[in-house]
């Protein structure tokens, strides 16, 4: 196995584009090394992107935030500005694994691993986050929810690397939240998860909303009906019930070692309700 | 052996105190050496190829390509481990489990092994071994395995314990029955009867250290094995038997052990490592991966249990009956029998009967797991009792006190009890502040009792006194949880010297006589008897030396507080001689001073515990949180109370994991789906509350200090205690362990429909 | 195949080694450098027994490649005591019997040290969640939490 540690994104893209055999990008490694250990993948080339300048930074601009591909999730939690603007995204990122994993894992790795149960993805999708992709023919930007096409598969072409996630600047009276269900209190993969992001008007009525569900379909689900159920409301019980019903109805889960279809359908609605309430409070709603 | 082990009340100086453990510094600095921390010059890396099929005939193995790979030094299959078991069925099963012979009997069953110069080469070599399988139908569920359509795991298995011998082969390997009285008549006398079927899924001991060993076989037939084990003498015997070696020529050294809980009482890959080393002519290190530990070491049984209990309006139990089916993996065991024996051991029954069936399934061989088989039986019985109590309208604790076994009760499994702790633990629970703690919404309290036999067995110790008066006590029972501290305390107590003057070590198999394993909660119980006996033998030598020094008869020399003294006035003011002084003069008074002891430690006192727990159940998700947990258990005499508490807390935590989340999950294909700590969910730190403990001391009449084993009983009550608490919190009776959130939510939904 | 040359700092000492591309930092520590204090309990980042600190981040060394250690500063259990003098956490773990078999102990100590350096006065809940990446199967965690609380008190000078 060849290990390379380029200093520029151009070199990294070049290495990935030229690679013969199986090539993988390494940032945190908390998924890649697990898959190597189990013999699930046997890379011929690993391109470590941590020496690329700027990739380990969280940048705040007029337009919002840019989170680089080698920023460990722990650093997201340590960024007060990011945690204030996007608390739901940050709490999702900080739920991935233990403190040990937090020191290594990245949201882009979490995204590119393309697991239906990835914690940060529903929160990012609800937040309307965009992925900046560098490739042999230049850069392109796509919505996070479009990146994963099927379990284990992404739309990335040969030589393409996601270099950053962009989060927009928050309008006032906005909030987001992410909740997942796991059997234990830590160290598990989400059985069901829900991310909600919303913005209120001056009267505390939900003006816009995005609701995303994880681990209930092959890829993250953005549930429009669920968002519509709370837009124009103050999250009254009836609205929340409609939200939950829309979520449960949108799920296409499977029975597996982590949960059942019935459980996932029911709990997706429960979590969406709870996450919506938290997001609403964070937006200043009462 | 004339050692009198009877209990004698005394005042203790060392026993019952809480000094620092002797192996503490090594373990906090990373210096302690565990199974995988040892290396030998020229050592190879051993790896095992495992069956991906739950049940398959091995038609042909072609290892020629692997053998030719550069860096591969040996390939071993069943052909390299010929059957030397000479009709010993139990030994044959061990051999077949270590290396599959005609059939692979579970996902993960070893089929070949390699030794190579490094891990990369060994891995590559495994891929080059071609195995021609004929896949057979499989069965992994304990109830399906006893059904009429189940494939036979052993074609010639005719249920034992049944007269006349059955004509048809089946997956039921054995039937056992315990009890007394007339159960039918008893049920007729009952005003209330509860009858239910319970299921528990398979769990693993989950020790953090995977199995690891370094094997080195020499061309002259001598060999060494460094290994993490709960019983190096037993490993030596098994390995020597399977490989046709002389027991005395195989020296087994036990490493520090990173947890065992019963799982390291059986050999798994050690005979294979020796076979590889023999063939390669070099030392071989073989370390299991975590995945291999789950797929191919020995988890506990999965069970299916029918219980029926009847009682009168006043709360007197009139009859109890249980039928217990325990999975054994592909080989017979005594797991259902242990379930049958322990199921009703807490109570005094006029009419009781329990029947156990050992059931073969295509899962890894069942191994001991802390009080093996008792937690599942207790779950069924204690759950049924709580339901019965609710029907009668009595208090759970009072009902149990009324029916508790006591001194003189005939146990359901046969013997008549001496002084025992079930009643006192229940009375302590009744008075415990935990019982008065306030419960909120969606919260509930449960309690349950548990029993374990404990075990004594063959034991020996050497106690050597150095010229400076410090003492080494060499024992043959592995220290799994602090027994070197306890045994040092016992030696200090007996000799009348400070704890700091004693050092306990675990000797290897060539430097001490045979010892049974550290299982059955016997480590401290049995080795403390041997230590007391060895110390008393050493004291006799010390007295002899003092007598010689003083030139007076031995019978006039007494041992008091670490000194030889005279009492008779005729010796005037002879100054007492300290152990140090006698030791310093040993070279001139007859040579080194030592005490030895070889004995069978009979009379392990039975052990009882009662647990209380409070839980909160989220009615929308089925998630259970443990809020409070209290363990009350009889220790006989707590030698080192801190480590006794540790045993209580550790067992409770394992039981909590078993009750709520831990389970082996098999797919339709018979493959284990969760062979890792990610999806085999043992409790993490944030899952648990502080675990309160209360140690009761009801002396064991068969131990000089009253000691009982304390290691296992604590895992027996939690499954039932939590099930009872969940039932009280959520209003739904859970009959299937683990009570995972999907199961609880489904039960809640079924209730509301 | 030639190995990858790596220069790094371990417990304050300059260390150089050669490793293969797929070798983990844990493999390197244990098999090449003889630092066997970090244990492999799972190899997949689920148990924390191999915890070390790399450039001020607590990590599982089984999920780091040896080659990634180039230019890093690594702290392992072997460097936790100051010569003869144990770190307060090491002492408190012994005093509180926060270990039984002890195989998880090096990982717990490294994780606890990281926890207390970030948060000198953690609540019980913060300790429990902070150490959730370290599995212990013997103690039920009770005495570990108490040892960390007591060490934190001492380190704060209370």
Give the pLDDT confidence of B261-299 residue by residue, as tens digits: 999 999 999 999 999 999 999 999 999 999 999 999 999
Q: CA distances (Å), A257 to each of B138, B349, B625, B668, C52, in order?
A: 20, 41, 21, 12, 31
Q: CA distances (Å), B134 to each of B51, B53, B131, B139, B461, in order?
A: 12, 10, 10, 16, 51
Nearest CA-CA partner of B628 in B617, B615, B646: B615
- Report residue B70 as tokens: 């550069």
pLDDT at B481 (0 to 100): 86
Region B424-439: mean pLDDT is 98
Q: For residues B343-367, b (16+ Cβ closer than 10 Å) or e, as one string? A: bbbbbbbbbbbbbbbbbbbbbbbbb
Per DSSP, the residues of B465-511 read E-TTS-EEEEESS--SSSHHHHHHHHHHHHHT--GGGEEEEE--TTT
Region A241-251: mean pLDDT is 98
B611, B718 contact by CB (below 8 A): yes
Question: Cβ–Cβ of C24/A30 closer than 8 Å?
Answer: no
Tens of pLDDT, residue by residue over A193-232, are 999 999 999 999 999 999 999 999 999 999 999 999 999 9
Angle (deg, nearest 10), helices C105-118 and C88-95: 130
Question: Cβ–Cβ of C37/B31 closer than 8 Å?
Answer: yes
C1 pLDDT higher than 70: no
C104, C134 contact by CB (below 8 A): yes
* Closest residue to C58, CB basis, from A26, A36, A99: A99
Residue of B nearest to A267 (CA): B621
Question: Cβ–Cβ of C137/B259 closer than 8 Å?
Answer: yes
Give the number of other CB atoms < 10 A from CB of residue B687.
Answer: 24
Per DSSP, the residues of A147-202 read HEEETTEES--TT-EEEEEEEEPPPSSEEEEEEEE-SSSSS---SEEEEEEEEE-T
Region B705-715: mean pLDDT is 96
R_g over Cα of chain B: 27
Nearest CA-CA partner of B739 in B663, B644, B674: B663
CA distance to partner chain B, nearest, from residue A187 (Å): 7
B96 pLDDT higher than 90: yes
Write down the mean pLDDT value for chain B: 97
Region B672-679: mean pLDDT is 97
For residue C143, which residues of chain B lie inside 8 Å, CB to CB?
A: 642, 645-646, 649
- Compute the C-alpha angle B435/B440/B443, nearest 5°: 75
Q: Does C67 touch chain A (CB under 8 A)?
A: yes
For residue B32, which residues of chain C lie inside 8 Å, CB to CB?
A: 102
C30 pLDDT higher than 70: yes
The 3 state secondary structure assigned to B446-471 is EEEEEEECCCCEEEEEEEEECCCCCE
A94, A182 contact by CB (below 8 A): no
Question: Cβ–Cβ of C97/B482 closer than 8 Å?
Answer: yes
Write down the mean pLDDT value for chain A: 97
Q: CA distances (Å), B240 to each of B248, B253, C123, in order?
A: 9, 14, 53
d(CA B368, CA B365) in angstroms, rounded, equals 10
* Closest residue to C68, CB basis, from A37, A48, A185: A48
Tens of pLDDT, residue by residue over B182-218, are 999 999 999 999 999 999 999 999 999 999 999 999 9
d(CA B674, CA C46) in angstroms, rounded, equals 13
Question: Cβ–Cβ of A263/B745 closer than 8 Å?
Answer: yes
Using the structure block, give the residue that is written with the tokens 């680089």: A68
CA distance to partner chain A, nearest, from residue B749 (Å): 10
Question: Cβ–Cβ of B646/C97 closer than 8 Å?
Answer: yes
C2 pLDDT higher than 80: no
d(CA B560, CA B225) in angstroms, rounded, equals 43
CB pairs < 8 Å spanning B and C: 177
Best mutation target among B658, B676, B742, B746 (most A Cβ atoms within 10 Å) is B742
CA distance to partner chain A, nearest, from residue B678 (Å): 6
Nearest CA-CA partner of A206 in A177, A178, A179, A236: A236
Q: B685: buried, middle or exposed (CB in 10 Å: 19+, 13-18, 0-12)?
A: buried
Give the number of other CB atoms < 10 A from CB of residue B500.
Answer: 12
Tens of pLDDT, residue by residue over C94-124, are 999 999 999 999 999 999 999 999 999 999 9
* C8 beta partners: C15
Q: Does C112 touch chain A (CB under 8 A)?
A: no
Tens of pLDDT, residue by residue over B447-485, are 999 999 999 899 999 999 999 999 999 999 999 989 999
Q: Which helix (H) or strand (E) holds B278?
A: helix B270-280
C15, C52 contact by CB (below 8 A): no
Q: Which helix (H) or strand (E) holds B544?
A: helix B523-550
CB pairs < 8 Å spanning A and C: 87
CA distance to partner chain A, nearest, from residue B621 (Å): 6
CA distance to partner chain C, nearest, from residue B728 (Å): 24
Question: Cβ–Cβ of C64/A104 closer than 8 Å?
Answer: yes
With cut-offs at 50, 70 and 90, classify the pLDDT of residue B634: very high
Tens of pLDDT, residue by residue over C32-67, are 999 999 999 999 999 999 999 999 999 999 999 999
Best mutation target among B660, B685, B687, B690 (most C Cβ atoms within 10 Å) is B685
- Which partners does chain A have (≥3 C-beta pairs < 8 Å)? B, C
Give the number of other CB atoms < 10 A from CB of residue B117.
Answer: 16
Question: Cβ–Cβ of A97/C24 closer than 8 Å?
Answer: no
Q: CA distances (Å), B520 to each of B345, B457, B516, B651, B713, in order?
A: 16, 9, 10, 14, 10
Tens of pLDDT, residue by residue over C129-142, are 999 999 999 999 99
* Closest residue to C140, CB basis, from B259, B643, B691: B691
Nearest CA-CA partner of C67 in A48, A12, A103: A48
Beta-carbon contacts of residue C142 (< 8 Å; ≥ 6 apart): B649, B688, B690, B691
The pTM score is: 0.97
A211, A251 contact by CB (below 8 A): no
Question: Cβ–Cβ of A100/C48 closer than 8 Å?
Answer: yes
pLDDT at A53 (0 to 100): 96
Region B711-719: mean pLDDT is 97
CA distance to partner chain A, nearest, from residue C73 (Å): 14
Question: Cβ–Cβ of C41/B120 closer than 8 Å?
Answer: no
For residue C70, which residues of chain A lie inside 8 Å, CB to CB?
A: 5
d(CA C79, CA C89) in angstroms, rounded, equals 13
Tens of pLDDT, residue by residue over A45-87, are 999 999 999 999 999 999 999 999 999 999 999 999 999 999 9
- Which partners does chain B have (≥3 C-beta pairs < 8 Å)? A, C
Phi and psi angles of residue A149, each rounded to the nearest 5 degrees, phi first? -105, -25
B358, B171 contact by CB (below 8 A): no
B513 pLDDT higher than 60: yes
Tens of pLDDT, residue by residue over B22-62, are 999 999 999 999 999 999 999 999 999 999 999 999 999 99
* B631 beta partners: B611, B693
With cut-offs at 50, 70 and 90, classify the pLDDT of residue B1: very low
Q: CA distances (Å), B676 to each of A67, B345, B672, C42, in order?
A: 32, 35, 10, 7
């Amino acid at each position: 196995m060849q290990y390379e540690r380029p200093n520029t994104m151009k070199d990294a893209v070049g290495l990935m584009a030229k690679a013969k055999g199986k090539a993988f990008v390494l940032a945190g490694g908390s998924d890649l090394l697990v898959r190597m250990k189990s013999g699930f993948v046997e890379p011929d080339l690993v391109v470590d992107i941590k020496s690329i300048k700027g990739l380990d930074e969280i940048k705040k601009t007029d337009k919002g935030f840019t989170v680089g591909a080698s920023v460990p999730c722990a650093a997201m939690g340590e960024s007060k500005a990011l945690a204030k603007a996007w608390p739901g995204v940050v709490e999702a990122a900080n739920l991935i694994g233990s403190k040990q994993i937090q020191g290594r894992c990245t949201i882009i790795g979490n995204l590119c691993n393309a697991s239906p149960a990835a914690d940060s993805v529903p929160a990012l999708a609800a937040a309307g986050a965009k992925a900046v992709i560098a490739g042999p023919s230049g850069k392109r930007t796509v919505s996070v929810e479009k990146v994963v096409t099927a379990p284990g598969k992404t739309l990335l072409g040969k030589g393409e690397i996601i270099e950053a996630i962009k989060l927009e600047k928050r309008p006032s009276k906005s909030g987001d939240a992410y909740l997942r269900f796991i059997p234990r209190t830590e160290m598990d993969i989400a059985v069901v998860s829900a991310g909600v992001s919303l913005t209120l008007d001056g009267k505390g009525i939900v003006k816009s909303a995005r609701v995303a569900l994880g681990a209930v379909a092959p890829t993250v689900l953005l549930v429009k009906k669920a968002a519509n159920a709370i837009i124009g409301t103050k999250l009254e019980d009836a609205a929340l019930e409609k939200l939950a019903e829309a979520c449960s109805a949108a799920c296409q889960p499977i029975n597996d070692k982590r949960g059942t279809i019935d459980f996932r359908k029911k709990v997706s609605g429960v979590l969406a309700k709870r996450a919506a309430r938290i997001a609403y409070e964070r937006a200043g709603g009462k | 052996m004339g050692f009198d082990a009877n209990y004698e009340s005394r005042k203790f100086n060392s026993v019952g105190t809480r000094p620092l453990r002797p192996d503490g510094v090594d373990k906090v600095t990373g210096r302690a050496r565990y199974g995988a921390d040892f290396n030998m010059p020229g050592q190879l890396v051993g790896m095992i190829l495992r069956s991906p099929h739950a049940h398959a005939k091995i038609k042909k193995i072609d290892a020629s390509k692997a053998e030719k790979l550069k860096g591969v030094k040996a390939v071993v299959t069943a052909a390299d481990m010929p059957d030397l078991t000479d009709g010993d069925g139990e030994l044959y099963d061990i051999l077949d489990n270590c290396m599959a012979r005609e059939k692979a009997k579970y996902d993960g069953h070893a089929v070949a092994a390699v030794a190579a110069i490094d891990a990369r080469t060994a891995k590559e070599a495994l891929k080059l071994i071609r195995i021609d399988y004929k896949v057979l139908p499989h069965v992994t569920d304990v109830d399906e395995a006893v059904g009429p359509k189940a494939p036979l795991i052993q074609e010639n298995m005719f249920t034992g314990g049944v007269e006349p011998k059955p004509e048809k082969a089946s997956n039921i390997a054995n039937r056992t029955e315990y009890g007394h009285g007339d159960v039918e008549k008893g049920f007729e006398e009952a005003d209330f009867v509860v009858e239910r079927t319970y299921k528990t899924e398979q769990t693993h001991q989950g020790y953090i250290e995977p199995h690891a060993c370094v094997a080195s076989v020499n061309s002259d037939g001598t060999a060494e094995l460094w290994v993490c084990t709960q019983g190096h003498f037993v490993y030596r015997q098994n390995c020597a038997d399977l490989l046709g070696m002389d027991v005395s020529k195989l020296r087994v050294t036990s490493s520090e052990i990173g947890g065992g809980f019963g799982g390291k009482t059986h050999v798994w890959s050690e005979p294979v490592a020796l076979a590889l080393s023999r063939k390669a002519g070099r030392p071989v290190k073989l370390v299991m991966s975590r995945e291999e530990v789950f797929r191919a070491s020995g988890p506990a049984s999965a069970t299916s249990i029918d219980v029926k209990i009847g009682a009168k309006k006043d709360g007197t139990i009139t009859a109890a009956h249980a039928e217990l089916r325990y999975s054994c993996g592909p080989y017979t065991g005594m797991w259902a029998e242990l379930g049958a024996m322990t199921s009703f051991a807490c109570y005094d029954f006029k009419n009781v009967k329990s029947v156990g069936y050992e059931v073969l399934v295509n899962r890894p061989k069942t191994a001991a797991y802390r009080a093996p088989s008792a937690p599942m039986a207790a779950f069924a019985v204690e759950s049924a009792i709580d339901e019965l109590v609710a029907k009668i309208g009595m208090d759970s604790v009072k009902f149990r006190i009324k029916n508790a076994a006591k001194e003189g009760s005939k146990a359901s499994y046969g013997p008549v009890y001496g002084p025992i702790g079930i009643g006192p633990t229940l009375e302590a629970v009744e008075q415990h502040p935990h019982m008065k703690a306030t419960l909120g919404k969606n919260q509930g309290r449960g309690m349950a009792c548990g029993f374990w036999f404990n075990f004594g067995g063959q034991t020996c110790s050497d106690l050597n006194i150095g010229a400076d008066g410090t003492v080494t006590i060499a024992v043959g029972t592995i220290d799994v949880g602090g027994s070197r501290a306890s045994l040092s305390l016992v030696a200090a107590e007996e000799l009348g010297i400070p704890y700091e003057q004693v050092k306990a070590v675990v000797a290897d198999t060539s430097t001490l006589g045979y010892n049974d394993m550290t299982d059955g909660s016997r480590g401290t119980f049995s080795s403390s008897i041997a230590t007391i006996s060895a110390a008393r033998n050493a004291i006799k030598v010390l007295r002899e030396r003092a007598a010689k020094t003083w030139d007076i008869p031995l019978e006039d020399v007494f041992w008091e507080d670490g000194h030889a003294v005279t009492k008779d006035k005729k010796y005037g003011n002879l100054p007492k001689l300290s152990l140090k002084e006698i030791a310093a003069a040993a070279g001139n008074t007859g040579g080194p001073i030592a005490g030895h002891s070889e004995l069978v430690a009979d009379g392990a006192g039975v052990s009882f515990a009662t647990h209380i727990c409070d839980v909160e159940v989220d009615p929308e998700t089925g998630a259970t949180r443990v809020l409070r947990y209290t363990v009350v258990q009889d220790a006989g005499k707590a030698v080192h109370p801190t480590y006794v508490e540790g045993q209580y807390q550790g067992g409770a935590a394992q039981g909590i994991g078993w009750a709520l989340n831990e389970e082996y999950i098999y797919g339709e294909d018979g493959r284990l789906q969760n062979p890792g700590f990610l999806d085999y969910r043992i409790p993490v730190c944030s899952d648990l509350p502080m675990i309160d403990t209360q140690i009761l001391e009801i002396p064991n009449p068969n131990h000089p200090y009253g000691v009982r084993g304390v290691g296992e009983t604590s895992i027996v009550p939690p499954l039932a205690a939590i099930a009872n608490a969940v039932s009280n919190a959520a209003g739904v009776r859970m009959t299937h362990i683990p009570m995972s959130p999907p199961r609880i939510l489904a039960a809640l939904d079924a209730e509301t429909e | 195949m030639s190995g990858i040359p790596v220069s790094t700092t371990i417990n304050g000492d300059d260390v150089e080694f050669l490793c293969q591309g797929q070798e983990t930092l844990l493999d390197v520590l244990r098999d090449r450098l003889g630092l066997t204090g970090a244990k492999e309990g799972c190899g997949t980042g689920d148990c924390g027994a191999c915890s070390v600190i790399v450039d001020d981040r607590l990590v599982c060394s089984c999920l780091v490649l040896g080659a990634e250690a180039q230019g890093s500063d690594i702290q392992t259990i072997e460097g936790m005591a100051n010569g003869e003098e144990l770190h307060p956490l090491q002492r408190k773990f012994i005093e509180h019997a926060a270990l039984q078999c002890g195989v998880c102990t090096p990982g717990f100590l490294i994780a606890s040290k990281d926890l207390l350096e970030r948060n000198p006065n953690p609540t019980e809940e913060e300790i429990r969640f902070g150490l959730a990446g370290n599995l212990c199967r013997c103690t039920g965690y009770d005495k570990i939490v108490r040892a960390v609380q007591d060490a934190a008190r001492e380190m704060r000078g209370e």
